[in-house]
Amino acid sequence: MKQYYIFVDDEQLGPLSLDEISSKKISKETKVWFEGLDDWKNAGEIEELSKFLISTPPPINSFTSQISPPKLVQKENFQVNSDVHENQKILGLNKNVFYWVLGVLVLIIGIVYFNNLQENNKAILLEQNRQTETYNQQQKEIEEQKPVTHYISEILKKYVTLSEVEESETYNHISGNIKHLRTDFTAKIEDNRLEELIEELHPTPAVCGIPKEFCKEKIIEIEQYNREFYAGYIKIETEEEIYYFVNLRCAKIYKNQVIAFAGGGITALSSPEKEWRETELKSQAILHHLQ
């Protein structure tokens, strides 16, 4: 790759690539050297640098000085030399026009700065809102999961001593396309009391709410449809183990249609739009396996 050296403002810069030269302010008179040249050349003589050149105005012809200062006649916004020499004229902005132009420039710079400041503030506010929404969602999930953990712990105390119950730390659990908070309990229950424990646990606050009886009444009153198998539980028994699963995401399959069941937990921190979106995602997890 060709490396260039340039001479700008009495300072030699380099080695530089073409991309690096593009960021430098060079004119056609800027001195340039690279390997293969016998001596420094003007940038205007090097073809590949032509697209980076900054146009510079030609030099102003020097004025012929006068022994006595010329008389000036002010006309509108310019000053014109009224000296007898026809070829000599001096032009300059009237100070009022100068201040007007300066004021316009300051106004333009102020508007640009203000617009940039507004954009930066907008970006900061959007990021703060996103962080707030994320925090609120996390708090909502904690608020939603904590009563369930407490409820299960209190029920287990009726069947075993607290020292016989092992409770894990709460952690994230991925179920299909949804992330949940999860806490595991381990305890030894007498076989003849297992069904009794399950009946007392069901329905947990996760599908019913707290207080249980009040929420059950309100669910029946407000939902106004039969949940059927949704939010119930399924028992699977093998020769060695017994499993109980809360029947959350499920479906009824007919000859030409499918009815999917899914739901979301509502708390004071819930966002209706997010709850609806989460319920749609849960439904998609069911429909995905039916396609």
Quote the CA–CA distance of 279 and 177 in Å, as a whole number.
11
Global pTM value: 0.47
Distance of CA 285 to the CA centre of its chain: 26
What integer pLDDT is reported at residue 64 of this predicted model? 46
Could you please report the per-residue DSSP string of the chain? Answer: ---EEEEETTEEEEEE-HHHHTTS-B-TTSEEEETT-SS-EEGGG-GGGGGGBPP-PPPPPPPPP-SSPPPEEEETTEEEE-SS-TT-----B-HHHHHHHHHHHHHHHHHHHHHHHHHHHHHHHHHHHHHHHHHHHHHHHHHHHHHHHHHHHHHHTTTS-GGG-EEPPPEEEEETTEEEEE--EE----GGGHHHHHHHHPSPTTTS-SSHHHHHHHHHHHH-S--TTTTEEEEEE-SS-EEEEEE-SEEEE-SS-EEEE------TT--HHHHHHHHHHHHHHHHHTT-
- Please give the structure tokens belonging to residue 175: 């179920």
* Number of Cβ within a 10 Å radius of residue 176: 14
C-beta of residue 43 within 8 angstroms of C-beta of residue 29: yes
Q: Are 229 and 250 in contact (CB under 8 A)?
A: yes
**Tens digit of pLDDT at every position of the chain (291 positions):** 788 898 887 788 888 888 888 888 888 888 989 888 888 988 888 888 888 787 666 666 544 444 444 444 444 443 444 444 445 554 455 556 665 666 777 778 877 766 776 677 666 666 655 555 554 556 667 777 788 888 888 888 888 887 788 889 888 888 766 677 889 999 888 888 889 999 999 988 888 888 889 988 998 898 887 888 888 889 998 988 889 988 888 888 898 888 888 887 777 777 888 888 888 888 887 888 777
End-to-end CA, the chain: 56
Q: 96: buried, middle or exposed (CB in 10 Å: 19+, 13-18, 0-12)?
A: exposed
Residue 214 confidence (pLDDT): 92
Structure tokens of 196?
A: 């009794």
User: What is the pLDDT at residue 70?
Assistant: 45
Domain ranges of the chain: 4-52, 249-291
d(CA 80, CA 70): 10
CA angle 105, 111, 115 (to 5 degrees): 150
Paired residues of 174 in beta bridges:
179
List all residues 6 or more positions away from 232 whose beta carbon is below 8 Å from its beta carbon: 202, 246, 247
